[in-house]
Chains A and B, each alone.
Chain A
Amino acid sequence: MQGHRVELRFPGTLAGFDEAFSTLLAELRADRIDPRSRFNVEVVFEEIVSNLVRHAAPHVGTLDVEVSVDLGANPIVMTFVDNGPAFDPAHRPDPMPPTSLSDAPDGGFGLMLVRRATTSTQYERMTDRRNRLVVAIAATPLATSAQAGS
């Protein structure tokens, strides 16, 4: 697999999120990775950046988000850096399984989806008071998937 790195830098706003996600999707479409791996990259980007925009941005003047995605290798590695408050997603438990609509949680599903989509997660609060989150996502080259399915 040929290495391919996508680097995105954008404001932690809904508009910034929207534009960066569109750029990432165009890069993913151009890359030869299997649909499930690509979907997992999308899920992780969606949930991590959505959390930043909704929960971190209100606490800082301007939230700056940097995302890099190393495609074309196994695993795919995604790195998120932001200047929001410290937040280690590993310390947030999954919500309790809902038993009825009335007791269903309103949130907490995002990090649950991230855990399901990734094989490892490393969080660091850096000395410059920024957060750095590195996640790995298992990847299967398209050619290998096709052979496996034949």
Chain B
Amino acid sequence: MQMQITEIAGGVLNVALTGRLDTPGVDRIETRFTAALVPRGATAIVDLSAVEFVGSMAIRMFIAVARALGRQHAKLVLYAPQPLVNDVFETVLLRQIVPVQLDSESALAAARS
């Protein structure tokens, strides 16, 4: 599981994740993912185009970070999930509480709205 963070326009962070967000994958990345975003209250868009799998532990991680950012008036927006990953999001109705967008442009717009 790999994570690459870049700062884009207006202080928004782009987080590109690569690999599998199964339990071992979340275990490897959750501390770094949370530490990179929550303490600074940074609005972030998360590129999931290279994530092959997500399970419930990943859902829990995204909700926890989005909730912590929300308390600081910041946002977490996910984008470009692969079709089977998006099906998981649909099953748990994730987009009702965490925005999921098709691409980086719409993710950035949602992050700024």
Number of interchain pairs (Cβ within 8 Å) = 70
Instruction: Give the distance in Å from the alpha carbon of A99 to the alpha carbon of B93 in the complex.
Output: 9
Size class of the contact patch on chain B = 20 to 34
Q: Which residues of B contact A42 (CB under 8 A)?
A: 22, 53
Main SS of the interface on chain A? Answer: helix
Main SS of the interface on chain B? Answer: helix
Q: From B8-16, B33-41, B60-68, give the one contacting chain A.
A: B60-68
Is the CB–CB distance between A46 and B64 below 8 Å? no
Instruction: Give the distance in Å from the alpha carbon of A53 to the alpha carbon of B26 in the complex.
Output: 14
Whether, in the assembled complex, B7 has its beta carbon less than 8 Å from a beta carbon of chain A, the answer is no
Residue interface bits B47-59, CB-to-A below 8 A is 1, else 0: 0000001011101
A: number of interface residues (CB 8 Å):
28
Is the CB–CB distance between B96 and A106 below 8 Å? no
Is the CB–CB distance between B24 and A21 below 8 Å? yes
| Partner among B24, B55, B97 whose Cβ is within 8 Å of the Cβ of A18 | B24
Residues of chain A whose beta carbon lies under 8 Å from any beta carbon of chain B: 14, 17-18, 21, 35-36, 39, 42-43, 46-47, 49-50, 53, 97-102, 104, 106-107, 109-110, 112-113, 116
Residues of chain B whose beta carbon lies under 8 Å from any beta carbon of chain A: 22-24, 27, 53, 55-57, 59-60, 63-64, 66-67, 70, 84, 88, 91-93, 96-98
Instruction: List 15 interface pairs A-B (beta carbons < 8 Å), by A numbering.
Output: A14-B27, A49-B23, A50-B22, A50-B55, A98-B97, A99-B96, A99-B97, A104-B67, A106-B60, A106-B64, A107-B56, A107-B60, A109-B59, A110-B57, A113-B56
